[in-house]
Chains A and B, each alone.
Chain A
Amino acid sequence: MQRIGVFICWCGSNIAATVDVQKVAEVMKSEPGVVYSADYQYMCSENGQQLIKQAIKEHNLTGIVVGSCSPRMHEATFRKTAEAAGLNPYMVEIANIREHCSWIHKDMDEATEKAIILVRTAIAKVKLNAPLMAGESPVVKRALVIGGGIAGIQAALDIADAGFEVDIVEKNATIGGRMAQLDKTFPTLDCSACILTPKMVDCAQHEKIDILSYSEVEEVKGFVGNFSVKIRRKARYVDETKCTGCKICMEKCPSKKGLNSFNMDLNTRPAIHIPFAQAIPNVAVIDPEQCIKLKTGKCGICQKFCGAGAIDYEQKDTFIEREYGAIVVATGYKPINLDAFNEYGYNDNKDVITSLELERLMNAAGPTNGVLLRPSDGEHPKVITFIQCVGSRDSSGCGKPYCSKICCMYTAKHAMLIREKYPDTEVHVFYIDVRTPGKNYDEFYRRAVEQYGVDYIKGMVGKVYNENGKLMVQGSNLIDNEQITIESDLVVLAAAIEPEPSVRKVATLLTASIDTNNFLTESHAKLRPVESPTAGVYLAGVCQGPKDIPETVSQASACAAKVIGLLAKDKLKTNPCVAIPDESMCNGCSQCANVCAYGAITYENKEFRLGGGKTEIRRVACVNPAVCQGCGACTVTCPSGAMDLKGFSSKQIMSEVEAICKK
């Protein structure tokens, strides 16, 4: 039999001025199950809490109801009070007689009557409460970072510096990501490699960081604090432990015609190669599609010349399984495919290039050694036209509806760099809007216009066509309300960016939600911007939304802070108000798993006794209490009512409904 104590708070005059608190306390004395009822000026005060503790002990209370302010205010306080007196903290219910009663009603009789009903409702509920124990799950003190671009590198370094082990899984042969391909970075124009490569080296040298390059995540099991991840280490045909990065193999390899993807396919590379000079790890990889030995069985020249004996044509994909407490997703982006935009002639003219290709053409380590030469004939372009918003802000279905965010700034950067290096070059930029919200960003853009004389044209390009070897760029000049055609030597398209496609697979593995544009969804757009709704999964960089390097780095560090906060704990306290299936009633119909946003529900075949010595094997739902967030979506979906929610059980809510409606 439940022994309930009721405590009515005056909250000074906040409640007492409109609710006759003494009357409420008095009425409750005769409620069935209530063995103690009192009122006090401030229940949340030291003395008020003392009163509660004493009553719990003296009257052997099994549950208490506090009629006070909103549970959002002091539920936690009173739970602690109860716990201190030896009562399970979940045997506490709050009747909100301040925000929902005294503050909004003026008539004392009316407000008192309502307060009585609200307290009764809380009593009805607390009678059905059951002691709940916050579960505990251990935390594996190691983090996984998926993606080795600047986001992943920064997150890994920050986590490792706090003393936790970190693995970086990178699908390419080297870490560095998109930033490694860039020439200069806005708004300060530092050389990208000069600021990135030291960080890459730090990663390689950090004793807490393990770089798993040329690897992909294959399978993820478990939950926050306890992920178990299977990682595929793709065969690179070179023994990572032996290769010294001497590059002799690259020199000797007879198959040199492979497109160099690091240089955006603008030049070629050998079948065995190190992606770029500062690659980490500085280890070669063989492209099996291109290698003569792997394709025909004949050749083997690299093996002959490798002094370290690192070449291994027999290598196969291998798998490793590791445990992690937290996972950071930093899978990055790629420029969109421009096939749908034939008006810009990208596929038909070699001299129509994307901005990322221009980065490589201007980079000292690029295909032209940093001299800006146009791809078609290797001449210096004299007139260069930039087109912004190619595929961004496009709701027609060809492109992306969002703003890619980085293009305005990098276009200004390109225009400026070209005008500085080649002052005789004419540079035009077609823009719809120039968006430069960021520290020193607008100043940067204005410098391109004012100091470097870049010609910004408000308007969009309608078509680019080739006439006698010249690229004719026809577009609007909206300010002058005219249509202009610019005879150009090089056209640069600011192609929209989109999440790296592999993010879809990663999201599925992690049960992390993804939006219609394939960006990973954050837990709360404003207040939890680096957390995925899936507990223990964090988001850094463009996989969550377009952003530039400074923003990416900040987000990565924010992720690291969250991860460190998680890994610093030895055990995770789990919310005990989670879903719980009654196996004897579960049909195993999968409807609950279909609505679970967290992937907390799995199924297993269990044996049940039928009586008479017979047994039956049935598929039943299992809820992982560490993953369940307690929303209750599953409880309503369950046709048999086998699924219930602790702390908000069907019976509890029904009893509240009854208490309110009973006239």
Chain B
Amino acid sequence: MTKEERIENLNRLSGTDVRKCMKCGKCSGRCPAFKEMDIKPHQFVTMLGKGKIDELLESKAIWNCLSCMACVERCPRGVAPAAVIEAVRDTVVRMQGNNGIKAEDIPPIVDELIPQQLLVSAYRKYNK
């Protein structure tokens, strides 16, 4: 994948328009995992906008993000920083070349309380 394709791919995966960001920092202001993150939520948005893909893919923060979606909830511009982080995380997982989860792994771990939707999205996320 070329860099351009990768940027496009990240934009598509995240489904968010980074140009809508007005750089207010409310996402990072709200983030409960802020201190642990090497790249902060608002930086994910601005760096994707600037095409700094390599730095993002190197980031440790993608494993610190709790996916609590507080940043998405609070963003005044309808930008979804968590979705960008998620997109980077997905890309990294996929680049590792391994399926994170196999279909046959699922039944034993199914708990009745786990929402169906979560399973489906987890399967989609961790499967190449």
A–B contact via C-beta, under 8 angstroms: yes
Residues in A lying within 8 Å of B, measured CB to CB: 343, 389, 393-399, 432, 458-463, 474-478, 481, 483
Closest chain B CB from A248 CB (angstroms): 51
Contact A460 B20 (CB under 8 A): no
Q: How far is the CA of A463 from the CA of B76 in the complex (A)?
A: 13
Report the nearest A residue to B72, measured CB to CB.
A396
Q: Is B29 among interface residues, defined by CB-CB distance under 8 A? A: yes
Residue interface mask B1-41, A partner, CB < 8 A = 1: 00000000000000000001011111111110011000010
Report the nearest A residue to B39, measured CB to CB.
A481
Beyond A432-B22, A476-B42, is A462–B76 a contact (Cβ under 8 Å)? no
Contact B40 A481 (CB under 8 A): yes
Q: How far is the CA of A506 from the CA of B74 in the complex (A)?
A: 35
Report the nearest B residue to A431, measured CB to CB.
B24
Q: How far is the CA of A397 from the CA of B77 in the complex (A)?
A: 9
Report the nearest B residue to A458, measured CB to CB.
B25
Contact B26 A460 (CB under 8 A): yes
Closest chain A CB from B85 CB (angstroms): 16
Residue interface mask B61-94, A partner, CB < 8 A = 1: 0000000001000111110000000000000000
- In the assembled complex, which residues on chain B have CB atoms less than 8 Å from the CB atom of A478? 23, 25, 28, 42
Most buried by A among B20, B28, B70: B28
- In the assembled complex, which residues on chain A have CB atoms less than 8 Å from the CB atom of B20? 395
Selected from A459, A463, A474, A477, the residue in CB contact (under 8 A) with B24 is: A459
Contact A398 B76 (CB under 8 A): yes
Q: How far is the CA of A432 from the CA of B75 in the complex (A)?
A: 13
- In the assembled complex, which residues on chain A have CB atoms less than 8 Å from the CB atom of B78? 395-397
Closest chain A CB from B107 CB (angstroms): 40
Contact B29 A474 (CB under 8 A): yes
Contact A460 B77 (CB under 8 A): no
Most buried by A among B25, B27, B74: B25
Report the nearest B residue to A399, measured CB to CB.
B76
Contact A343 B75 (CB under 8 A): no
Beyond A393-B76, A396-B76, A398-B76, is A483–B23 a contact (Cβ under 8 Å)? no
Contact B30 A474 (CB under 8 A): yes
Report the nearest A residue to B26, measured CB to CB.
A460
Q: How far is the CA of A475 from the CA of B24 in the complex (A)?
A: 10
Task: Offer 18 A-B interface pairs, CB within 8 angstroms, sorted by A.
Answer: A343-B30, A394-B76, A395-B20, A395-B78, A396-B78, A432-B22, A459-B24, A459-B26, A460-B25, A460-B29, A460-B76, A462-B26, A462-B31, A476-B24, A476-B29, A476-B42, A477-B25, A481-B43
Contact A389 B23 (CB under 8 A): no
Contact B26 A476 (CB under 8 A): yes
Contact B77 A394 (CB under 8 A): yes
Q: How far is the CA of A462 from the CA of B27 in the complex (A)?
A: 7
- In the assembled complex, which residues on chain B have CB atoms less than 8 Å from the CB atom of A432? 22-25
Q: How far is the CA of A396 from the CA of B26 in the complex (A)?
A: 13
Contact B77 A395 (CB under 8 A): yes
- In the assembled complex, which residues on chain B have CB atoms less than 8 Å from the CB atom of A459? 24-26, 28-29
- In the assembled complex, which residues on chain A have CB atoms less than 8 Å from the CB atom of B23? 432, 478
Q: How far is the CA of A397 from the CA of B74 in the complex (A)?
A: 11
Contact B29 A461 (CB under 8 A): yes
Most buried by A among B29, B34, B78: B29
Contact B28 A389 (CB under 8 A): no
Q: How far is the CA of A462 from the CA of B69 in the complex (A)?
A: 12
Contact B30 A463 (CB under 8 A): yes
- In the assembled complex, which residues on chain A have CB atoms less than 8 Å from the CB atom of B26? 459-462, 475-476
Report the nearest A residue to B46, measured CB to CB.
A478
- In the assembled complex, which residues on chain A have CB atoms less than 8 Å from the CB atom of B25? 432, 458-460, 475-478
Closest chain A CB from B40 CB (angstroms): 6
Contact B70 A396 (CB under 8 A): no
- In the assembled complex, which residues on chain A have CB atoms less than 8 Å from the CB atom of B74? 343, 462
- In the assembled complex, which residues on chain B have CB atoms less than 8 Å from the CB atom of A394? 76-77
Report the nearest A residue to B78, measured CB to CB.
A396
- In the assembled complex, which residues on chain B have CB atoms less than 8 Å from the CB atom of A398? 76
Contact B28 A462 (CB under 8 A): yes
- In the assembled complex, which residues on chain B have CB atoms less than 8 Å from the CB atom of A461? 26, 29
Beyond A481-B40, A483-B35, is A395–B28 a contact (Cβ under 8 Å)? no
Closest chain A CB from B122 CB (angstroms): 27
Most buried by B among A389, A459, A481, A483: A483
Report the nearest B residue to A478, measured CB to CB.
B25
Report the nearest A residue to B28, measured CB to CB.
A476
Closest chain B CB from A465 CB (angstroms): 11
- In the assembled complex, which residues on chain B have CB atoms less than 8 Å from the CB atom of A460? 24-26, 29, 76
Closest chain B CB from A519 CB (angstroms): 20
Closest chain B CB from A266 CB (angstroms): 28
Contact A389 B24 (CB under 8 A): yes
Most buried by B among A395, A476, A481: A476
Given contacts A393-B76, A396-B77, A462-B70, 17 further A-B contacts (CB under 8 A): A343-B74, A393-B77, A394-B76, A395-B20, A396-B75, A396-B78, A398-B76, A459-B28, A460-B29, A462-B26, A462-B27, A462-B28, A475-B25, A476-B27, A476-B42, A478-B23, A483-B28
Closest chain A CB from B68 CB (angstroms): 12
Closest chain B CB from A387 CB (angstroms): 10
